[in-house]
Amino acid sequence: MSKPHVLVARAVFPETISKLEQHFEVESNPGDETWSKAQFIQKLKGKQGVFTTGSERIDAEVLDACPELRICANMAVGFNNFDVDAMTAHGVLGTNAPDVLTETTADFGFALLMATARRITESEHYLRAGKWTKWSFDMFAGSDIHGSTLGIIGMGRIGQGIARRGAHGFGMKVIYHNRSRLDASLEAACKASYVGKEELLGTADHVVLVVPYSPASHHTIGAAELALMKPTATLVNVARGGIVDDAALAVALRERRIAAAGLDVFEGEPKVHPDLLTVPNVVLTPHIASATIPTRRAMADLASDNLIGFLTTGKALTPVNPQVLAAR
Ligand code: 8YV
C-alpha cells in the first residue's frame, strides 16, 4: 500500500522529517524558502497532510484547490492561520500544539515584563553606544515588579503560568480578565481575582496580554484602552499581532501616556510598525516566546504525532475541530 503524502511547509528539526518519513512520502522545505500562496497550493496538491508552523494560511482557496488534504497540523498553540469553519466544512482536521510550550512561554512573558519594567534593553543600548560616562541617581529608573499589581488579559494556560510566577515568585497582586471566569480552585492556585477589562486597565501596574487572536480580539488594546492605563504602567504582548493597535501604541509610548511596552508579536510580522522602531521605551523581540530547543522539539513532536496518528489510525491528540473526527 502506498504511503500517504505529507508536506512540511517550513524548515524543522531533521529528526522530525526522519520520523515523518517512517510513515509518509514527505516533501519538506529544508532551505526554509518563503513560498507564495500559489506555490504553497501547488506543493500541497495531492498531499493528505500538511505540517504548518502557524504562518501558513489554510482557507477555502487552499482547501478547494487541494481536495485530497485531510489534516493540517500546526506546530503552534495558536491556530489563527486556520479558517476552522472552512476546514470543518471540507472535512479537514486541524490540530495545534498546546501544553508543551506553556511554562517556556510563561517564562518568556515574565522575562519580557521584567526587561520592560526595568528598562534593560534601553539601558544596554545606551551603554553599548558609549553614552555611559557617569552614574546618576535616577539613571534608567524603572518600575518595581515585586509588590505591584499584575493585570493579565487572557487567562488560559500561559496566562495562568504568568500569574503563578507573579503571585508566588514576586508577591504581586494578580488581577485578570478573561472571556469566562476561572473556577475557584484555579483562581486560588494563581492567587488571581477576576475583574472587568476597564478596571484591570485602570488598576494594573503591568498589563500582560495572552489572549488568542480572533476577529473578536482584534485591537483588544487600542487608543481608548491605552488612555485608561496609568501613565506609569507597562504593557506586554506575548499573544498575537493584531491584539494591539501597534500604531496607537507607538503614539502612547512616544507621548509617555504609558511608561513602556514589551512586544514579542506584531501586526503584519515580520514587519514591525516603523514608529515602534524609533521609540526608546519599548522592548522588541522577534516572536520567540516558545523558543527553547526542548520546547520546540516537543512542539514538533506533538505536531508530527498528530499527523501520524490521524493518517495511520484516524486519531489525533490535540484536534481544534474534533467534529471532523466524530464525523468519520
Ligand atoms: C510559535 C506561537 O513558535 O505557539 C504559538 O502559537 O506563537 C509560537 O509558540 C509560532 O507560532 C511559530 O510556530
Residue-wise pLDDT tens digits, 64-107: 999 999 999 999 999 999 999 999 999 999 999 999 999 999 99
User: Is 317 found in the same domain as 245?
Assistant: no
Q: Can you give the CATH number for the domain in which 37 is found? A: 3.40.50.720
109 and 168 belong to one structural domain: yes
Provide the pLDDT for residue 271: 97
110 and 235 share a domain? yes
Using the mean position of ligand 1's atoms as its centre, give its distance from the Cα of residue 2 in Å.
33
Q: Are residues 266 and 132 in the same domain?
A: yes
Catalytic residue among 25, 61, 199, 269: 269
- Segment 211-219 shows an average pLDDT of 96
Same domain, 123 and 90: no
Whether residues 188 and 129 fall in one domain: yes
Interval 287-296 mean pLDDT: 98
Q: Are residues 67 and 121 in the same domain?
A: no
Indicate if 277 and 211 belong to the same structural domain. yes
**By percentage, how much of the chain surpasses pLDDT 90?**
98
Residue with the smallest CA separation from ligand 1 atom 6 is: 78
Same structural domain for residues 70 and 129? no
* Closest atom of ligand 1 relative to the 288 alpha carbon: 3
Domain that residue 202 falls in? 102-284
Q: What is the mean pLDDT of residues 54-69?
A: 97
Domain count, the chain: 2
Question: Hey, what long-range contacts does 290-298 have (CB within 8 A, 24 or more apart)?
Answer: 290/76, 290/77, 290/101, 290/104, 290/105, 290/108, 291/104, 291/108, 292/104, 294/104, 295/100, 295/101, 295/104, 296/13, 296/75, 297/13, 297/15, 298/97, 298/100, 298/101
User: Is the same domain home to 85 and 234?
Assistant: no
User: Which cell goes with 147?
Assistant: 509588590
Percent of the chain with pLDDT over 70: 100
**Which whole number is the average pLDDT over 1-18?**
96
Taking the CA of residue 79 as reference, the ligand 1 atom at the shortest distance is 6
- Residue 214 shares a structural domain with residue 302: no
- In this prediction, residue 328 has a pLDDT band, given cuts at 50, 70 and 90, of confident
Predicted TM-score of the model (pTM): 0.96
| Average pLDDT in the chain | 97
Same domain, 167 and 231: yes
